[in-house]
Structure 1
Amino acid sequence: MSEYTPMIKQYLAIKAQYKDAFLFFRLGDFYEMFFEDAVTASQELEITLTSRDGGQIPMCGVPHHSAEGYINRLIEKGYKVALCEQVEDPKHAKGVVKREVVQLITPGTVMNGSIVSEKENNYLAAITCFSDGTFGLALCDLTTGENKVTLLQEGKDELIHELFSSGAKEVVVASNVDESLLQAIQERLEVTVSREDESFIPDEFTTLVENIEQPKLIESFARLLQYMIRTQKRSLDHLQPVFYFEVNEFMKIDMHSKRNLELVESNRNKSRKGSLLWLLDKTVTAMGGRMLKQWIERPLITKEKIETRQQMVETFVQQFFERENLREQLKGVYDLERLAGRVAFGNVNARDLIQLKKSLQQVPEIISTLQQLDNPYSSELAEKMDPCERLTAMLEKSIQPSPPLSIKDGDIINDGYNEQLDRYRDATRNGKAWIAQLQQQEREETGIKSLKIGYNKVFGYYIEVTKANLHLLPEGKYERKQTLTNAERYITPELKEKESLILDAEEKIVQLEYELFIALREEVKTYIPVMQKLARQISEIDCLQSFATISENYHYVKPTFSENRNVLIKEGRHPVVEKMMNSQEYVANDVELNASRETLLITGPNMSGKSTYMRQVALTAIMAQIGCFIPADSAELPIFDKVFTRIGAADDLAAGQSTFMVEMLETKLALAKATQNSLILLDEIGRGTSTYDGMALAQAIIEYISEEIKAKTMFSTHYHELTDLEDELEALHNVHVSAIEENGKVVFLHKVRDGRADESYGIHVAQLAELPDKLIVRAREILAKLESGQSKNKPTTSKVNQKTEEEQLSLFVAENNNVTPPIGSKEQKVLKQLQEMNMLEMTPLEAMNKLYDLQKKLKA
């Protein structure tokens, strides 16, 4: 079309400033979208696509009163939404009503709705790339105001791992950032990328970086801050001072290991259930839940800090009644951090302030309970907690106990809070009483019992008389107002005067209550830093009581930490598997790693529990270093600086990596970054390639760790040939997960014992999986043939006793080909006869004859 209308021109001009966002353009009671936005939104939101201007312009829209749900759906998909509102009164507008974007809602800046989990942070991240190869990373949770920064020295892999740990949904970068970096981030993480080139701190925000000395860190945070200022267009008074954290001050767990260990979500369905977080979360408050997740993702490495937490957990375990009192008190505490955020953002309502009041009313009780605990740290916490008594009293005096949701409908402020408001209310209350009295008086004077005084918004107050009673009205007193089918409505000068007084007061009440609420909200703003500090203190207490509750419920014990790098766990258990098993008894196992046992080489059948055994050691170490008790009878542990796990098989198709490549990359990370103070768990390394290659790689990796890194290592394998390494590597020790065979079927004992496994029971496991019987029989025949040395190709020898190509059909051939062929029904009969023989009552000749008969039966 040749020319757009003025309104469409306005839309296009605003849209040009927000090209990467859906523009929700306010038209009356709807937010409308046009052109490509309309086409895409109609598909993503499943709403009707229409058009305007003769079908030239695609168009769709959503009602403004239900827009939040549609916006949340778009944000969850990684999109951004620019809210464009009318900013002038249409009555006074000359031409098109002026419109402006009042807020840009993005995955990292969304403040409420279903997509913000109450027990998870919603971080917005900003990356700044420096010429020396380092990265500045800044993080802000806009819902709580929390800010933190760090400097990363180890390249983009470390950056990606930190972004993964934070769970950031959106990453802000400069326009000139290296595209290969963005590609690497987007291949491995689900994030929305946004651009921001400004990186300076406005004067009103300089106090946020007072404790930050490095210019790189300030620049990183400044980019984040500028993006928030530009997109949110409202008060950010709740932003907390920036906290600098050094990644090496915590146990480092890479993103692969966090997934493998299922720390915060299960691998099967990506939910909390089945994760360590799910197990440990007995927190009562949303704030405590968020802090617990942060603790699990960043375990401590400072012994004093760990032991401070441990001592509090021990105190809570010993003082049960105080702990239960505290849990009840915490149940009355709402989310102080996010309430502070809503206060600053200006979208807090009266019910939110009631929640704030109720939360603060619990604080004196919490302080009292902490003082009753026999622990110096709890006394220190109690002393530092500010109960905000003045704020509590102000909220008690000002807000009604059950206010409405809207702050513009009145009925919010208590009587006695404001004199002018009380006068207006007196006018309305007494005025309405006067009207009721007038109605009774008019009925008596006229004798019309059905006469009534009513009110509607169009005609105001009126006297209604049915037509059957009109003859009873005195002449000259009543002025006709409205005629109905069966009645007439009238007004008198006296009623009109009172109406004016009442309606004027009601209108002024609503406006005055709104103004008083806004003033109250501004007053509450001044308490935001105190509220945030209180929130952190309560969150810490909540996490520690959660550890105590879990430890008591599941009979966990307090571990000790040694300087000699020994791992000595007695009757250790996998905490999550144990809980998932419910009433079934979990088979506990010991773990011993010391100077002469740096590496455990673990053999045993599939499904016997090798991976579970390895994982439970890592989870035990992590639980210990966050201050929780651990699932064992006793434990002595070192403080690990890093944990690396390579467990399970998975492709990374998005990055074009096969299972074996993923396996090698994760192994490389451990080999490159581990120290002698690290824990390395490697499961089935080398199985993604040929047997020769796999065994060679596996042996070389074990030797490299043992000779170069000297980290505590657990290495599970089906390559039984590798067990010979116990004779060659001084600090390697063989252990196996035991199993027995009964009636041709394998029974897993799940017990870890010293020494190597004698068999892998691969075919038995296939039988348990109910593969076809014919297939199982054929597999036994092939295995028997291979193990009897009848294969066409002869094996060659090497450092890892390599098998022939045919023998690669089974990776589980025992060493020296000495495994007995699988037992069938014929063999079982012979065995039974042999078992029933009483050798002590037989002569040597009888015994020889009997053995000869049995041998003939086997050969037949």
Structure 2
Amino acid sequence: MVPLRRQYLQIKRRFPDTVLFFRLGDFYETFDDDARIAARVLDIVLTGREMGKGLRVPMAGIPHHAAEGHIARLVSAGHKVALCEQIGDVQKGRGLVERDVTRVVTPGTVLDDALLDARRNTFLCAVAIDGPRAGLAYADISTGEFATTEIAATTAEEGLLAVGRELLRLDSAEVVLPAGLVDEVPLPPAAWLPEGVSRSTVEAWRCRADRAAETLETFFGVGSLDGFGVAGKPLAVRAAGTLLAYLKETQLSGIDQITGLTTYNVDGFMTLDLQTRRNLELTESGRGEKRHSLLAVLDETRSPMGARLLRRRLGQPLLDLPALQARQGEVSRFVDDPLVRSATRRALAEVGDVERLANRAVAGIATPRDLANLRSSLAAVEAVADALPAPTTGTLLATLPGCAEVRSLLAAAIADEPPSHLGKAPSIRAGFAPELDGHQGRAREAREWIANLERSERERTGIRSLKVGYNKVFGYYLEITASALAAAERERGGPALPPDYLPKQSLANATRYFTPQLKEYETVVLTADETLAGIEADVFRRVVAQVAGAAPAMLAAAAAVAEVDVAAALAEVAATRDYVRPE
């Protein structure tokens, strides 16, 4: 068995229930049963690879730059995907490169745009059950939301049904359960778990109250969880700790986008079971059509954050009358001022998904194009603030200084039209990074020097047939035919070549030479792309880190924009359909 096969099997044993994407050069390869699954789901060719004497294993691969779409299809088909990257230096002749899994993509832990719906959250949920009491936590790692609650019922069956209603409200993409829970509770899964939701399990010991509390305290760096509002709610702690432990297992590169925990009370919202939701046609009609639902009628939001907030509010109707009246007041202000409403909605239309873009920076996976979109979106946020009358801009205005600093950084650092990924085209604006500009200048100078070398050397030697050439084996060279060299020597009555000409390769009718200066410039040119790519990647990572440091201000701005967007959208619907505010 070859070393590569042993390395693969060692990693695969750690992730037995996932499709392992094993990075080999520019491809992700799958082997054995994973290859058969990939070939069937992705409609790609199933081949094979020799992995030792008499050992040929099934293999199917995809280009790494096209991975997002393929991962989306596998996750949609109900599979989990583990991404195994080359984390060591890739150098020829240096043995097996080090590899390890950096991320596991599951239905509830997706971050790639190809897997996300901009107008709805992707919630991962965790459940803890103890008789008639239950805890439920949810997180959306694309937005950084993390919340937990505790549910009290009179019987275990009623507790399970209450959990099911909350999972249904959240439209959970994936539910994490302690191992063995499904067999221990009094109701079958179909009676309380939403239809079609993906289920994952963790070891039961990870869900104990003391272990869950320790997980949360260590992650948030606190000595007590009372500040998060979970005092006296052990089931809420267990659910939140279980969810966080699962995230740490799957998001191996970190979950820095989770910065806090919110505790909420389900009693503050109207209880809606599955049948009620269907009858009210909140998010889809009785025939399953979204375009005939209440959400479709009311959703005139212009930003992704606003669309997600409106969807959450419809699924979780408030019972707090003062809070409801405050929301109505926000809508009324836009109804009463059509000019402000129109200007605000025009500005909102230019705001991208600041919430998810900021969190991609925090997670360290932002691309150059993500940062360009964030730059334009932050400019649009300022335009939204400008469109609003002074009394309604307090929360949004408070976030603008931090957002303006990020926008200034991105305006100085990122090219006007950067590529989707590093390396495809320049991503860093000229003048931002002196080290990058300096090397680009040296590479440009070297290329120009080599481009003019043939003319200058012909003039220097007097040999008009001298040629500058290049091949992958010998690099750049000066080629002179034997007859041309003999003619030059006869004409000069002695050596025709300058003393810095050094033989490089002898051919039948010619000799190829190099000079120390040509060798120097050759080194610059041949290593320019790799060196520039490394410098640009370092600069880009520094920019992403600076953007991530300003995430709190951007997320606060995104939340304020969402509130404005929902109010303006509902006002637009009210004005169009002649709706009135209830007295």
User: Does the pair score TM above 0.5?
Assistant: yes
Determine the structure 1 residue equivalent to 2:228: 211
Alpha carbons of structure 1 residues 555 and 349: separation in structure 2 relative to 1, 3 Å: same
Q: Following TM superposition, by how much is the alpha carbon of 1:240 offset from its aligned partner in structure 2, in angstroms?
A: 3.6
Q: Following TM superposition, by how much is the alpha carbon of 1:455 offset from its aligned partner in structure 2, in angstroms?
A: 6.1
Q: Following TM superposition, by how much is the alpha carbon of 1:509 offset from its aligned partner in structure 2, in angstroms?
A: 3.3
Determine the structure 2 residue equivalent to 1:813: none
Q: Which moved more, 1:251-260 or 1:38-47?
A: 38-47
Q: Deviations over 1:55-96 (max 9, x none)?
A: 987623122423333321121122212223344457599986
Alpha carbons of structure 1 residues 57 and 465: separation in structure 2 relative to 1, 3 Å: closer
State yes or no: 1:168 paired with 2:168: no
Q: Following TM superposition, by how much is the alpha carbon of 1:229 offset from its aligned partner in structure 2, in angstroms?
A: 0.5
The one of 283, 289, 293 equivalent to 2:301 is: 283
| C-alpha contact 1:87 1:99 (8 A) present in aligned 2 | yes
Look up the SS of the partner of 2:312 in the other structure.
helix
State yes or no: 1:104 paired with 2:122: no
Alpha carbons of structure 1 residues 498 and 19: separation in structure 2 relative to 1, 3 Å: closer
AA aligned to 2:558 is A
RMSD across aligned positions (CA): 3.5
| C-alpha contact 2:361 2:548 (8 A) present in aligned 1 | yes
| C-alpha contact 1:147 1:239 (8 A) present in aligned 2 | yes
State yes or no: 1:423 paired with 2:438: yes
Q: Where does structure 2 lack aligned partners over 5 or more consecutive residues?
A: 154-158, 207-211, 490-495
Alpha carbons of structure 1 residues 241 and 429: separation in structure 2 relative to 1, 3 Å: same
| C-alpha contact 1:36 1:58 (8 A) present in aligned 2 | no
Determine the structure 1 residue equivalent to 2:497: 476
Determine the structure 2 residue equivalent to 1:550: 573
State yes or no: 1:310 paired with 2:328: yes
The one of 19, 22, 27 equivalent to 1:22 is: 19
Distance (Å, rounded) in 1 between the aligned partners of 2:298 and 2:371 = 31
Alpha carbons of structure 1 residues 47 and 411: separation in structure 2 relative to 1, 3 Å: closer
AA aligned to 1:192 is S
Q: Following TM superposition, by how much is the alpha carbon of 1:385 offset from its aligned partner in structure 2, in angstroms?
A: 3.1
AA aligned to 2:176 is V
Distance (Å, rounded) in 2 between the aligned partners of 1:182 and 1:471 = 95
Q: Following TM superposition, by how much is the alpha carbon of 1:287 offset from its aligned partner in structure 2, in angstroms?
A: 1.3
Determine the structure 2 residue equivalent to 1:498: 521
Q: Following TM superposition, by how much is the alpha carbon of 1:338 offset from its aligned partner in structure 2, in angstroms?
A: 1.0
| C-alpha contact 2:461 2:497 (8 A) present in aligned 1 | no
TM-score under structure 1 normalisation?
A: 0.58
Q: Following TM superposition, by how much is the alpha carbon of 1:493 offset from its aligned partner in structure 2, in angstroms?
A: 4.2
Q: Following TM superposition, by how much is the alpha carbon of 1:147 offset from its aligned partner in structure 2, in angstroms?
A: 0.8
Q: Where does structure 1 lack aligned partners over 5 or more consecutive residues?
A: 561-860
Q: Following TM superposition, by how much is the alpha carbon of 1:339 offset from its aligned partner in structure 2, in angstroms?
A: 1.0
State yes or no: 1:67 paired with 2:67: yes
Distance (Å, rounded) in 1 between the aligned partners of 2:337 and 2:565 = 15
Determine the structure 1 residue equivalent to 2:493: none
The one of 311, 316, 319 equivalent to 1:298 is: 316
Determine the structure 2 residue equivalent to 1:156: 160
Q: Which has the larger radius of gyration?
A: 1
Q: Deviations over 1:141-194 (max 9, x none)?
A: 011111111112231111111111111111111113142556236864212221
AA aligned to 2:266 is V
AA aligned to 2:399 is M
Q: Following TM superposition, by how much is the alpha carbon of 1:247 offset from its aligned partner in structure 2, in angstroms?
A: 1.5
Determine the structure 2 residue equivalent to 1:267: 286
AA aligned to 1:117 is D
Distance (Å, rounded) in 2 between the aligned partners of 1:90 and 1:513 = 19
Distance (Å, rounded) in 1 between the aligned partners of 2:445 and 2:97 = 43
State yes or no: 1:523 paired with 2:523: no
State yes or no: 1:239 paired with 2:258: yes
Q: Following TM superposition, by how much is the alpha carbon of 1:452 offset from its aligned partner in structure 2, in angstroms?
A: 7.2
Alpha carbons of structure 1 residues 96 and 457: separation in structure 2 relative to 1, 3 Å: closer
Q: Deviations over 1:551-596 (max 9, x none)?
A: 2222222222xxxxxxxxxxxxxxxxxxxxxxxxxxxxxxxxxxxx
Determine the structure 2 residue equivalent to 1:617: none
Alpha carbons of structure 1 residues 468 and 187: separation in structure 2 relative to 1, 3 Å: farther
Q: Deviations over 1:635-690 (max 9, x none)?
A: xxxxxxxxxxxxxxxxxxxxxxxxxxxxxxxxxxxxxxxxxxxxxxxxxxxxxxxx
Determine the structure 2 residue equivalent to 1:191: 197
State yes or no: 1:324 paired with 2:345: no
Alpha carbons of structure 1 residues 34 and 406: separation in structure 2 relative to 1, 3 Å: closer
| C-alpha contact 1:128 1:220 (8 A) present in aligned 2 | yes
Look up the SS of the partner of 1:265 in the other structure.
coil
What does 1:330-349 align with in structure 2 at a 5 Å threshold?
330-349=348-367
Distance (Å, rounded) in 2 between the aligned partners of 1:416 and 1:286 = 34
Look up the SS of the partner of 1:385 in the other structure.
helix
Q: Deviations over 1:793-850 (max 9, x none)?
A: xxxxxxxxxxxxxxxxxxxxxxxxxxxxxxxxxxxxxxxxxxxxxxxxxxxxxxxxxx
| C-alpha contact 1:107 1:170 (8 A) present in aligned 2 | yes
Alpha carbons of structure 1 residues 348 and 183: separation in structure 2 relative to 1, 3 Å: same
| C-alpha contact 1:111 1:143 (8 A) present in aligned 2 | yes
Determine the structure 1 residue equivalent to 2:156: none
AA aligned to 2:350 is G
AA aligned to 1:328 is R
Alpha carbons of structure 1 residues 471 and 102: separation in structure 2 relative to 1, 3 Å: same
The one of 395, 409, 430 equivalent to 1:394 is: 409
Identity of aligned residues (%): 35
AA aligned to 1:219 is R
Distance (Å, rounded) in 2 between the aligned partners of 1:432 and 1:162 = 64
TM-score under structure 2 normalisation?
A: 0.83
Report which of the two has the higher share of helix. 2
| C-alpha contact 1:164 1:189 (8 A) present in aligned 2 | no
Determine the structure 2 residue equivalent to 1:252: 271
Distance (Å, rounded) in 2 between the aligned partners of 1:236 and 1:382 = 27
Distance (Å, rounded) in 2 between the aligned partners of 1:457 and 1:285 = 52
Q: Which has the higher contact order (CA 8 A, sep 6+)?
A: 2
AA aligned to 1:403 is P
Determine the structure 2 residue equivalent to 1:582: none
| C-alpha contact 2:364 2:545 (8 A) present in aligned 1 | no
Distance (Å, rounded) in 1 between the aligned partners of 2:488 and 2:286 = 83
Distance (Å, rounded) in 2 between the aligned partners of 1:136 and 1:247 = 11
